[in-house]
Amino acid sequence: MSDFDNALRFVLSVEGGYVNDPDDPGGATNFGITQKAYDAWCDSHSSSRGDVKWIPQNVVADIYQSGYWKVAGCDSLPWPMNLVIFDTAVNEGFGVALAVARAADGLGPLAAIAVRRYIYRKLADGNPTLAKFLTGWMNRLEALRRELK
All domains in the chain, ordered by first residue:
3-147 (1.20.141.10)
Which residues, 6+ apart, have CB-to-CB distance to 13 below 8 Å? 143
- With a CB cutoff of 8 Å and minimum separation 6, the contacts of 34 are 26, 27, 28, 52
- Give the DSSP H/E element, type plus range, for residue 34: strand 33-34
Structural contact between residues 69 and 7, judged by C-beta atoms closer than 8 angstroms: yes
Query: How confident is the model at residue 149, as a pLDDT?
Result: 78
Residue by residue, pLDDT tens for the chain (149 residues) are: 999 999 999 999 999 899 999 999 889 999 999 999 999 999 999 999 999 999 999 999 999 999 999 999 999 999 999 999 999 999 999 899 999 999 998 899 999 999 999 999 999 999 999 999 999 999 999 999 999 97
pLDDT of 128: 92
pTM of this structure: 0.94
